[in-house]
Amino acid sequence: MTPSQATKRVNELSKLLEYHNYQYYVLANSEMTDQDFDKLMQELIDLEKRFPDLASEDSPTQKVGGQLQKEFPTVKHKYPMLSLGNTYSEEELLDFDKRVIKLAGRSTVEYYCELKLDGVAIGLTYRNGTLVQAVTRGDGNAGDDVTPNAKTIKKIPIHLKGNGYLDKFEIRGEVIMHRSGFDNLNAQRKKDGEPVFMNPRNTTSGTLKMLDTATVAKRPLDCFLYQVMGDKLPFKSHMEALKTAEKWGLQITEHAEICKNINSVLNYIQKWEKKRNKLGYDIDGIVIKVNDFAIQQELGFTAKSPRWAIAYKYAPQSISTKLLEVTYQVGRTGAVTPVANLEPVELGGTIVKRASLHNANIMEDLDIHLDDEVYVEKGGEIIPKITGVELKSRKRNTRPVKFISRCPECNEPLVTNEADAITYCVNEWKCPAQIKGRMEHFTSRNAMNIDSLGKETLEMLYDQGIVKNIGDIYELKKEEILPLNRMAEKSANRLLEGIENSKNIPFEKVLFALGIRMVGETVAKKLALHFGSIEKIAAASVEELTALHEIGESIAKNVTQYFAQLQNKKIIDKLGVHGVKLKVDKDSLTVKKSDKLAGLNIVISGVFKNFDRSGLKKTIEENGGNLTSSITGKTDYIVAGDNMGPAKLEKAKALKIKLLNEDEFLEMIK
């Protein structure tokens, strides 16, 4: 094939594939079999490899992925990505309507209402009909340029269709993952022996930040768009702008409606509160926007949010079901957690069969009996928990559930720590659940990050006597791994490569990975940075440890007890022999950006939109703040997200500690 013939064919294939992508993913109309589509895509891939000059950044092959990114550049938003004001109250919504009407000088105002998707915000910029940039929210003023990853999302067109589109504009929306796609992804990960993901929203966020676009392309991401941005837009209303964008091939938010007044808005909210579980994806409320662009312009913005929009958030859902039995889980530290096994019930779009009962004190306070009708709530829309018992329906002669006295895994007597109300199995070196739990924690993402060594693989290695502790992981040989169930040559090589790569993990993460009781990521980092090496930490006395800010006597005793045990010393020696980092690498330390939070003790609580928790922790440390895990009289601020725990909120009020929302926190470090 000559270069001119190749050019002609590449153009033909590109147009054909773009057309069928739009028909299938946006219009849900399949005009071609998957097999035929894949053949055309493969032909285009082969041609672009053979004639590299014909490969372009906006080719349909970009939806397959394949690029490896070194990093995501930070890009300043042309139009700041402001947060919306939130309310859970119809009264506050009526007040919002009154303010809008008063400021706009109208007798009534028309609203555009849409579902508040629980995903990751993104801004897409098109120039002359071609996608040129995709940027995450970030801190609202600047975000990460994730364009290569956004191009792999099937519902995001690389080229707009038709004509008449603006020369340059931005359209914002939410990247989400449907529950069915999330469930399928987790099923496959479980089958492969990999850890399952917690929820669709966090999985979406993590996927968008992956450096391998081929992996991103395989994840079931979707995108709904909800706001057109640009200079001198030729539209009179929010609805008109989005309907026009839809004609250009962009997928706008589903189920949006125009409400002529606030009463219609309230009806819309009530309707979707009943129907939201029937959606294939998660929502946490309704967004209400003034539809008329002229009125939007009149109302303008505060420093934090538009005056013409507000989000109404739904309260966590609760439902009753029957308690079948209580079982017990043993964690890596020996902590024993009671779990309620329930008659399956649908809650928040998922089937709930189990819920946490936390500890013996809570069980006693609830006074639960077998066969009780119990109330289940999804805390933060994620983790089910028992919140109460329907005493009126309790049957006669039912037995109260009493906390067990022996470990369900090794049958050793249990001990309850009165200080934290947690019951422990103290048989840490012979209890299989604790040993497996420590290995699982050690290999986890926030610790040594050996993602190829999942829970099922670790259990097989332990049950067959190949690995008895975390130190043995570094002595694994391929001939020991290959006989394991579902372990092929490629998987074995990947596992060994993951173990080898973990030797580059910085010391503060290694210290966290050891699983010392009460030593979380924050405490591990404080200890690592202060002492510099595991040798010095092991030699430190309780007095030397408690001299550090926020290292109390309980933490100090746990640290000294850990290093006093001969078994732990042997494991650490083994890690050192195999090249695991046991002292601070100066190059890996947090780079300080400012002293704006210097001397401030800050606690974070809740779920955040602009940050994940590790990102927020890093930002506090980069600006000189002292991150603390518990609220005390010495706490200066609490950065509070959605679903902050009621106990923490009550304690903050009692101690008169100022709560900062995300916008207020960002203003502090601006």
Interatomic CA distance for residues 150 and 134, integer angstroms: 6
Q: Please report the pLDDT score of residue 434 as a whole number.
A: 94
Residues 123, 226 share a domain? yes
The domain spanning residue 7 has which CATH number? Answer: 1.10.287.610
Whether the CB-CB separation of 384 and 356 falls below 8 Å is answered with yes
pLDDT, residue 624, reads 82
pLDDT in tens, 378-416: 754 456 888 889 998 888 888 889 999 999 999 999 998
Q: Which residues does residue 406 pair with via DSSP β-bridges, in sequence order?
A: 413
| 625 assigned to some structural domain | yes
560, 588, 616 — which closes off a domain? Answer: 588
User: Does one domain contain both 391 and 420?
Assistant: yes
CATH of the domain at 561: 1.10.150.20
Nearest CA to 365 out of 357, 356, 376 is that of 357
Structure tokens at 246: 């839809």
pLDDT at 24: 53
Is position 69 within any domain? no
- Looking at 91-95, 110-114, 283-287, 302-306, which range is the least confident one? 302-306
Q: Are residues 412 and 475 in the same domain?
A: no
Q: Indicate the residue among 313, 344, 379 that finishes a domain.
A: 313
pLDDT for the residue 358: 83
* Residue 525 predicted with pLDDT over 90: no
Tell me, yes or no, whether 474 lies in a domain. yes
**442 and 305 together in one domain:** no
Residues 369 and 453 reside in one and the same domain? no
> Is 78 a domain residue?
no
> What pLDDT shows up at residue 364?
87
Beta-bridge partner residues of 74: 144
| pLDDT at residue 6 in the model | 83
- Domain contains 547: yes
Q: How far is CA 497 from CA 87, 487, 494, 617, in A?
A: 49, 14, 5, 30
Token reading at 251: 């997928």
Is the Cβ–Cβ distance between 626 and 549 less than 8 Å?
Answer: yes
- pLDDT tens string 122-140: 999 999 999 999 999 887 8
pLDDT band at 232 (very low <50, low <70, confident <90, very high): confident
pLDDT at 62: 67
Give the domain CATH number at 352. Answer: 2.40.50.140
Q: Average pLDDT for residues 578-598, to the nearest whole number?
A: 78
Q: Tokens in use for 255? A: 């189920």
**47-51, 77-81, 215-219, 321-325: least confidently modelled range:** 47-51
**40, part of any domain:** yes
Bridge partners for 86 per DSSP: 311
- Give yes or no: residues 402 and 439 share one domain: no
What is the reported pLDDT for 630? 75
Q: DSSP letter string over 220-240?
A: -EEEEEEEEE-TT-S-SBHHH
Tally of domains in the chain: 5
Whether the CB-CB separation of 638 and 648 falls below 8 Å is answered with yes
Residue 164: pLDDT band (50, 70, 90) is: confident
Angle between helices 553-564 and 566-577 (to 10 degrees): 70
To the nearest 10°, the Cα dihedral for 572, 578, 579, 580? -40
pLDDT tens for residues 354-375?
Answer: 988 888 888 888 999 999 999 9
Residues 392, 455, single domain; the answer is: no
Query: What are the φ/ψ torsions at residue 623 (nearest 5 degrees)?
Result: -105, 20
pLDDT above 80 (res 190) = no
Q: CB within 8 A of 208, min separation 6: which ones? A: 120, 122, 136, 146, 149, 150, 175, 216, 221
> Pick from 394, 424, 454: which residue ends a domain?
424
Say how far apart CA 145 and CA 149 lie, in whole Å: 9
Q: Is residue 492 part of a domain?
A: yes
Dihedral angle at the C-alpha atoms of 403, 352, 520, 573, nearest 10 degrees? 80
Which range is least confidently modeled, 68-82, 499-513, 555-569? 68-82
Do 379 and 439 lie in a common domain? no
Question: Distances from the Cα of 46 to the Cαs of 9, 15, 52, 88, 506, in angstroms?
Answer: 12, 16, 10, 54, 41
Q: Is the pLDDT of residue 592 over 70?
A: no
Q: What's the mean per-residue pLDDT of the chain?
A: 87
CATH of the domain at 170: 3.30.470.30
- Is 76 among the domain residues? no
pLDDT digits (tens, 9 = 90+) for 444-466: 988 998 878 888 899 999 999 99
Q: What is the pLDDT of residue 515?
A: 92
Q: What is the pLDDT of residues 69-104, one digit of tens each?
A: 557 888 889 998 888 888 888 999 999 999 999 988
Whether residues 557 and 474 fall in one domain: yes
d(CA 538, CA 658): 37
* Helix, strand, coil share of the chain (percent; to 5): 40, 25, 35
Do 98 and 216 reside in the same domain of the chain?
Answer: yes
Nearest to 21 by CA among 8, 12, 31, 9: 31
Residue 608: give its domain's CATH number.
3.40.50.10190
Q: Do 274 and 362 fall within a single domain? A: no
Active site residues: 116
- Neighbouring CB atoms inside 10 A of 242's CB total 21
Give the percent of the chain with pLDDT over 70.
92
Considering the domain architecture, whether residues 439 and 378 belong to the same structural domain is answered as no
Of the candidates 413, 464, 417, which has an alpha carbon nearest to the alpha carbon of residue 436?
464
Answer yes or no: is pLDDT of 113 > 90.
yes
Is residue 348 over pLDDT 80? no
Give the residue numbers spanning the domain of 562. 432-588
